Amino acid sequence: MKNDTSLAIFETHKIRRHFDEKTESWYFSVIDIVAALTEQDNFQVARSYWKKLAQRLRNEGSEVVTKCDRLKMMAQDGKMRETDVADVETILRLTQSVPSKKAEPIKLWLAKVGYE
Protein backbone atom coordinates (compact mmCIF):
# COMPACT_ATOMS: atom_id res chain seq x y z
CA MET A 1 0.00 0.00 0.00
CA LYS A 2 1.31 3.37 -0.97
CA ASN A 3 1.50 5.66 2.04
CA ASP A 4 -1.23 8.11 1.04
CA THR A 5 -2.48 8.99 4.50
CA SER A 6 -4.62 11.92 5.45
CA LEU A 7 -6.86 13.18 8.20
CA ALA A 8 -10.60 13.48 8.06
CA ILE A 9 -12.56 15.36 10.69
CA PHE A 10 -15.69 14.05 12.36
CA GLU A 11 -17.06 16.79 14.61
CA THR A 12 -14.04 17.47 16.86
CA HIS A 13 -12.29 14.14 16.27
CA LYS A 14 -9.37 13.67 13.89
CA ILE A 15 -9.73 10.37 12.05
CA ARG A 16 -6.61 9.04 10.39
CA ARG A 17 -7.21 7.40 7.04
CA HIS A 18 -5.27 5.82 4.21
CA PHE A 19 -6.21 5.43 0.55
CA ASP A 20 -5.19 2.11 -1.00
CA GLU A 21 -4.80 2.71 -4.73
CA LYS A 22 -4.84 -1.00 -5.54
CA THR A 23 -8.29 -1.61 -4.04
CA GLU A 24 -9.35 2.03 -4.49
CA SER A 25 -10.66 2.11 -0.92
CA TRP A 26 -10.20 4.20 2.17
CA TYR A 27 -9.01 2.56 5.37
CA PHE A 28 -9.77 4.33 8.65
CA SER A 29 -8.03 4.05 12.02
CA VAL A 30 -10.26 1.83 14.17
CA ILE A 31 -9.11 3.49 17.40
CA ASP A 32 -9.92 6.95 16.00
CA ILE A 33 -13.42 5.76 15.05
CA VAL A 34 -13.91 4.17 18.48
CA ALA A 35 -12.77 7.44 20.11
CA ALA A 36 -15.38 9.36 18.09
CA LEU A 37 -18.10 6.82 18.86
CA THR A 38 -17.39 6.87 22.58
CA GLU A 39 -16.74 10.64 22.57
CA GLN A 40 -13.36 9.94 24.11
CA ASP A 41 -10.49 12.42 23.80
CA ASN A 42 -7.98 10.21 25.64
CA PHE A 43 -6.25 7.96 23.09
CA GLN A 44 -5.27 5.34 25.70
CA VAL A 45 -8.86 4.98 26.93
CA ALA A 46 -10.11 4.59 23.34
CA ARG A 47 -7.36 2.02 22.68
CA SER A 48 -8.35 0.02 25.78
CA TYR A 49 -12.00 0.15 24.72
CA TRP A 50 -11.08 -1.21 21.27
CA LYS A 51 -8.94 -4.01 22.78
CA LYS A 52 -11.84 -5.16 24.99
CA LEU A 53 -14.36 -4.81 22.17
CA ALA A 54 -12.11 -6.74 19.77
CA GLN A 55 -11.76 -9.54 22.32
CA ARG A 56 -15.53 -9.68 22.86
CA LEU A 57 -16.17 -9.75 19.09
CA ARG A 58 -13.59 -12.54 18.64
CA ASN A 59 -15.28 -14.56 21.39
CA GLU A 60 -18.64 -14.07 19.65
CA GLY A 61 -17.13 -15.34 16.38
CA SER A 62 -17.54 -11.98 14.62
CA GLU A 63 -15.55 -11.48 11.40
CA VAL A 64 -15.19 -7.74 12.03
CA VAL A 65 -11.88 -8.11 13.88
CA THR A 66 -10.38 -10.47 11.29
CA LYS A 67 -11.21 -7.95 8.56
CA CYS A 68 -9.06 -5.31 10.25
CA ASP A 69 -5.56 -4.78 8.89
CA ARG A 70 -2.54 -3.09 10.42
CA LEU A 71 -0.90 -0.07 8.87
CA LYS A 72 1.72 2.40 9.98
CA MET A 73 0.12 5.78 10.60
CA MET A 74 1.31 8.94 12.28
CA ALA A 75 0.75 8.63 16.03
CA GLN A 76 0.14 11.48 18.47
CA ASP A 77 3.85 11.47 19.35
CA GLY A 78 4.74 12.19 15.71
CA LYS A 79 6.13 8.70 15.03
CA MET A 80 4.85 6.19 12.51
CA ARG A 81 3.26 3.35 14.47
CA GLU A 82 1.21 0.33 13.48
CA THR A 83 -2.48 0.65 14.19
CA ASP A 84 -5.61 -1.31 13.32
CA VAL A 85 -7.41 -0.03 10.24
CA ALA A 86 -10.53 -1.13 8.40
CA ASP A 87 -12.38 -0.29 5.23
CA VAL A 88 -15.71 1.55 5.21
CA GLU A 89 -17.80 -1.64 5.18
CA THR A 90 -16.00 -3.08 8.20
CA ILE A 91 -16.15 0.25 10.09
CA LEU A 92 -19.91 0.39 9.46
CA ARG A 93 -20.24 -3.09 10.96
CA LEU A 94 -18.06 -2.08 13.88
CA THR A 95 -20.24 0.94 14.68
CA GLN A 96 -23.13 -1.48 15.29
CA SER A 97 -21.12 -3.09 18.12
CA VAL A 98 -20.62 0.16 20.04
CA PRO A 99 -23.60 1.55 21.94
CA SER A 100 -23.36 5.22 20.98
CA LYS A 101 -25.56 8.14 20.06
CA LYS A 102 -22.82 8.97 17.53
CA ALA A 103 -23.33 5.74 15.54
CA GLU A 104 -25.80 7.21 13.03
CA PRO A 105 -23.89 10.47 12.52
CA ILE A 106 -20.67 8.48 11.95
CA LYS A 107 -22.40 6.20 9.42
CA LEU A 108 -23.59 9.25 7.47
CA TRP A 109 -20.15 10.87 7.74
CA LEU A 110 -18.44 7.66 6.52
CA ALA A 111 -20.78 7.42 3.56
CA LYS A 112 -19.62 10.91 2.57
CA VAL A 113 -15.86 10.79 3.26
CA GLY A 114 -15.39 7.09 2.53
CA TYR A 115 -16.29 7.54 -1.11
CA GLU A 116 -14.77 10.95 -1.86
Residue-wise pLDDT for 35-56, tens only, equals: 999 999 999 999 999 999 999 9
Residue-wise pLDDT for 52-100, tens only, equals: 999 999 999 998 999 999 999 988 888 999 999 999 999 999 999 999 9
Phi, psi of 50 (to 5 degrees): -65, -40
**Residue 15: closest CA among 95, 24, 97:** 95
| pTM exceeds 0.85 | yes
Report the alpha-carbon distance of residue 63 to residue 60 in Å, rounded.
9
